[in-house]
Amino acid sequence: MNIKKDEKMSIEVTNIDHLGLVAGIIDEIGIEQKINQLLGEQLPEKITGGQVVKGMVLNGLGLVSSPLYLFSRFFEGKAIEHLIGTGVKTEYFNDDKLGRVLDQLDHKGLNEIFMSVVLEAVKIYELETSTVHLDSTSFHVHGDYHTEEDESIENLEPKPIKITYGYSRDKRPDLKQFMMDLICTNDGDVPLWIRIGSGNESDQKQFVQAMKGFKNQLNFDSLMVADSALYTQ
């Protein structure tokens, strides 16, 4: 809880809750500064790209998250200056600002950004990487997603994923989905490598590719642990 007193001795009470711990870890790893370095600060701006990402992480790890068009409401009643920075206001987190930062992140390359944060976390927390764990899961979505019939994307590089039907881990075979492959440390379950794939992908085919991608991007001599999908002809 954060308490402010003005000259008339009125008291304003705002909450921090568990988000103070999350903000502290973000600051310790230096995620905000890394994002600003990668994207470049564009002056004048009320909040930086790093602060936007920090806000989105806090939103995602809040007990109740808010979609982009309601994002600023997430910080109502919270000690936003304590969590994000001095002078920051809730209305600065509008959907236009968030959308522009998301576009910048995409253009810069999410893998590059993710890897820079991962390597910093490994160094700061002295994580053991001799054993890592690989698995995949599915995320269902609502909507038509006509990507399978869209011929205009056939020649795009890198190839966009297909939101389509597949084996549903969350028991919603009636909905289209996408897949996520994730490799984590055995020490603390910290994500090291991530890949988003089409909804109809097979673990048997993708696990080996995931291992190769991990080895190419991170020079770790790690024992890879996975389920039986890894063992095929």
The confidence score (pLDDT) of residue 112 equals: 83
Q: Residue 184 has which token pair?
A: 């984590």
- Return the sign of the alpha-carbon dihedral for residues 54, 27, 123, 120: positive
What CA–CA distance (Å, rounded) separates 30 from 94? 24
**What ranges do the domains of the chain cover?**
2-110, 127-230
What averages of pLDDT result for each successive group of 10 residues across the chain (233 residues)? 60 82 94 91 83 94 80 87 92 91 90 88 93 94 76 67 90 93 93 92 89 87 89 78
Four-residue CA torsion sign, 110, 175, 201, 61: positive
Q: What is the pLDDT of residue 71?
A: 84
What pLDDT was estimated at residue 69?
Answer: 78
Say if pTM beats, i.e. exceeds, 0.85.
no
pLDDT at position 24 = 95
